[in-house]
């Protein structure tokens, strides 16, 4: 499996940001880490190894970025408003730096699908819903799509606009909705320990209320919130995409 590490100083984040790249060809899978993790997390926990057959076949090319959650919602020492600012800078980094990098490494016409597990699922979903003109779909595993679950009671306009379960019900722009409806949306959750299938069902209901096609998968009681689940879940989903 071909593997590269790239790094540059991000104008949006004002820091060095590395990206790991796996493969040569195929559509682009943009992977957002869980919680406080880094760009090598999916490799370290052997999820990339599980995707290797698809990568080697040229069906997909994986791009894994760093998270900045410890500089935003997971930083207990920061004020809520500053956390929100940092979150928006991360969005800017993805849209203005990472997506052009992916296009440079593939082509301007290569589909880009965001993907993440746990907190990464929320980020992946939010990124797609915000810019369905740049991203063509999302695979979200074991997520909760309510950002207030992470904000320790802080709520402002920027929390609202980064919390899909809050802003999607009020989204009325026809052009944006049509682009979202054309995307591939897969929401998957287990029913085992530390999973929240009801949160996924609630968000599915929100999407249904806006006539947004999507695929909701609720896996069984033996499917827990951990890497064993995601190593099994993502390859199976990608084999069907």
Average pLDDT over residues 171-197: 97
pLDDT, tens digit, for every residue of 56-78? 999 999 999 999 999 999 999 99
Identify the DSSP state of 98.
Answer: I
C-alpha to C-alpha distance for 210 and 208, rounded to whole angstroms: 5
Burial of 35 per CB tally in 10 Å (0-12, 13-18, 19+):
middle
Contact 45, 227 (CB under 8 A): yes
Average pLDDT over residues 175-186: 97
pLDDT value at 158 more than 90: yes
pLDDT, tens digit, for every residue of 83-115? 999 999 999 999 999 999 999 999 999 999 999
Rg (CA), the chain: 17
- The predicted pLDDT at position 36 comes to 86
Domains of the chain are 3-238 (3.40.50.1820)
- The predicted pLDDT at position 46 comes to 97
Contact 200, 187 (CB under 8 A): yes
Number of helices and strands in the chain (H, E): 10, 8
Average pLDDT over residues 202-208: 98
């Amino acid at each position: 499996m071909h593997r590269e590490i790239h790094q540059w100083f991000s104008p949006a984040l004002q820091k060095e940001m590395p990206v790991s790249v796996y493969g040569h060809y195929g559509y682009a899978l943009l992977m957002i880490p869980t919680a406080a993790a880094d760009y090598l997390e999916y490799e370290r926990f052997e999820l990339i190894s599980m995707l290797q057959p698809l990568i080697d076949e040229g069906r997909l090319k994986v791009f894994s970025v760093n998270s900045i959650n410890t500089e935003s919602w997971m930083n207990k020492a920061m004020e809520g408003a500053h956390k929100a600012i940092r979150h928006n800078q991360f969005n800017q980094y993805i849209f203005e730096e990472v997506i052009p990098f992916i296009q440079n490494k593939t082509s301007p016409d290569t589909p880009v699908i965001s993907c993440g597990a746990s907190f990464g699922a929320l980020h992946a979903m939010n990124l797609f819903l915000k810019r369905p003109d740049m991203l063509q779909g999302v695979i979200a595993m074991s997520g909760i799509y309510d950002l207030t679950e992470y904000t320790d009671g802080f709520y402002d306009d920027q929390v609202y606009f980064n919390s899909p379960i809050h802003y999607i019900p009020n989204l009325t722009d026809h052009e944006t909705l049509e682009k979202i409806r054309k995307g591939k949306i897969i929401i998957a959750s287990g029913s085992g320990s530390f999973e929240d299938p009801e949160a996924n069902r609630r968000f599915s209901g929100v999407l249904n209320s806006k006539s947004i096609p999507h695929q909701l998968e609720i896996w069984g009681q033996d499917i827990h919130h951990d890497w064993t689940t995601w190593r099994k879940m993502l390859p199976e989903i990608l084999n069907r995409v």
